[in-house]
């Protein structure tokens, strides 16, 4: 197990190196440039030239790349061309919000998706199953932003059950030792703040978690149906296992194997979906910041943020692989 983790962490280095090159080229392939974005359409060629000179954008690509890498290795991720704020600071100020949102969305997706898929499989072909199949199909097809707007309109604007934007009510005064607002509220025993932050998370998390929820439910259903027909389940019945143990230890555990993989893949979807959801709910995470950086062609921000997201994504997938080893002993020998 340790070996697997070390191996995968070792693979992280070439992965990130390759990604950094792709990222670097991709950012520079975008139409326009940071100078134009900064100075506007009518900037004089001289002004553009000066900006490019200042930030080194006129040097050959490989020199720029090496310079960037050199800085990275020293822990310097650069500063935003627009705000001059250090990128690292901006990132860590916002990342907790996105993690919080993603985690709650994931909890909703997994916490509802797996039981739903399981119940559907147990009632295969009957009403409950077909309802779940149709509902999950709808869940998969609705775009995140459409659902986000819909939820916001119905539950925040019309019904007023939940707040419509932000991470906390502006009137709420709270201390934030970690940046995870719900966690902060719990740690500092500011229960009202924790509750308030949680209510702000509900709608964005549902919007963000709906697609993964639907996918997890469908995979769970298919997987449980397949496992129920397996020889070892029949043998387990033949040896007289009582239904609770049969369901829990034989069917469910085996059915979770493909589901674990799916969850890992969904995390990537959640991180990219967060950009849209955060924008709709004015949720101050990396998503909305990243969206702005794209509009402004803020090279340093784009490069650093996407790299960070990639690292997060890789680590999550490593965690999924490790969990796979925990569920499935056959994976451990590899």
Q: Footprint of another protein on this chain (CB under 8 A)?
A: 3, 6-7, 230-232, 234-242, 245, 249-250, 253-254, 257, 327-330, 333
- Say how far apart CA 154 and CA 203 lie, in whole Å: 10
Is the Cβ of residue 146 or residue 245 nearer to another protein in the bound state?
Answer: 245
Is the Cβ of residue 61 or residue 249 nearer to another protein in the bound state?
Answer: 249
Residue with tokens 């709910």: 281
Is the Cβ of residue 252 or residue 294 nearer to another protein in the bound state?
Answer: 252
Is the Cβ of residue 112 or residue 128 nearer to another protein in the bound state?
Answer: 128
Is the Cβ of residue 37 or residue 227 nearer to another protein in the bound state?
Answer: 227
Is the Cβ of residue 89 or residue 249 nearer to another protein in the bound state?
Answer: 249
Is the Cβ of residue 31 or residue 244 nearer to another protein in the bound state?
Answer: 244
Q: How far is the CB of 121 from another protein (least distance, A)?
A: 13
**CB-based contacts of 131: which residues, under 8 Å, 6+ apart?**
none
Is the Cβ of residue 69 or residue 241 nearer to another protein in the bound state?
Answer: 241
Q: How far is the CB of 130 from another protein (least distance, A)?
A: 17
Q: Give the per-residue SS3 of 303-315.
A: HHHHHHHHHHHHH
Question: End-to-end distance of the chain based on CA atoms, in angstroms?
Answer: 9
Question: Cα angle at 67 between 62 and 69, to 5 degrees?
Answer: 95
- Quote the crossing angle between the two packed helices 286-296 and 299-327, to the nearest 10°: 140
Q: How far is the CB of 107 from another protein (least distance, A)?
A: 24
- Say how far apart CA 110 and CA 219 lie, in whole Å: 11
- Say how far apart CA 34 and CA 54 lie, in whole Å: 12
Q: How far is the CB of 22 from another protein (least distance, A)?
A: 29
Q: How far is the CB of 235 from another protein (least distance, A)?
A: 4
Q: Which of 90, 104, 10 shows the shortest CA–CA distance to 308? A: 90
Question: Cα angle at 282 between 284 and 211, to 5 degrees?
Answer: 95
- Say how far apart CA 166 and CA 33 lie, in whole Å: 31
Residue pair 277/207 in contact (Cβ under 8 Å)? The answer is: yes
Q: How far is the CB of 50 from another protein (least distance, A)?
A: 53
Q: How far is the CB of 17 from another protein (least distance, A)?
A: 21
Burial 7-36 (b: 16+ CB within 10 A, else e): ebeeeeeeebeeebeebbeebbeeeebbbb
Q: What is the largest CA-CA distance in the chain?
A: 84
Q: How far is the CB of 313 from another protein (least distance, A)?
A: 25
């Amino acid at each position: 197990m340790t070996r697997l983790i070390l191996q995968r962490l070792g693979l992280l280095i070439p992965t990130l190196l390759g990604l950094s090159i792709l990222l670097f080229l991709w950012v520079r392939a975008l139409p326009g440039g940071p100078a134009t974005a900064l100075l506007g359409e009518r900037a004089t060629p001289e002004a553009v030239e000066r900006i490019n000179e200042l930030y080194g954008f006129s040097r050959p690509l490989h020199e720029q790349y090496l310079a960037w890498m050199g800085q990275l290795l020293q822990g310097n991720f650069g500063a935003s061309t627009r705000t001059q704020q250090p990128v690292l600071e901006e990132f860590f100020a916002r990342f907790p919000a996105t993690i919080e949102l993603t985690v709650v969305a994931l909890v909703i997706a997994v916490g509802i998706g797996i039981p739903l898929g399981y119940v559907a499989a147990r009632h295969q072909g009957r009403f409950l199953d077909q309802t779940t199949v149709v509902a999950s199909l709808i869940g998969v097809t609705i775009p995140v932003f459409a659902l986000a707007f819909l939820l916001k309109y119905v539950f925040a604007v019309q019904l007023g059950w939940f707040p419509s934007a932000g991470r906390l009510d502006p009137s709420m005064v709270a201390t934030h030792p970690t940046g995870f607002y719900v966690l902060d509220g719990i740690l500092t025993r500011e229960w009202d703040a924790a509750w308030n932050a949680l209510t702000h998370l509900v709608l964005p998390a549902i919007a963000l978690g709906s697609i993964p929820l639907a996918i997890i439910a469908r995979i769970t259903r298919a997987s449980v149906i397949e496992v129920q027909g397996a020889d070892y389940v029949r043998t387990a019945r033949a040896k007289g296992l009582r239904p609770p143990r049969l369901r829990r230890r034989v069917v469910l555990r085996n059915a979770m194997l493909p589901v674990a993989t799916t969850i890992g893949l969904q995390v990537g979807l959640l991180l990219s979906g967060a950009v849209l959801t955060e924008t709709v709910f004015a949720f101050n995470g990396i998503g909305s910041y990243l969206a702005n950086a794209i509009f402004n062609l803020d090279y340093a921000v784009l490069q650093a943020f996407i790299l960070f997201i990639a690292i997060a994504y890789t680590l999550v997938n490593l965690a999924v692989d490790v969990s796979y080893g925990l569920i499935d002993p056959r994976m451990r020998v590899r």
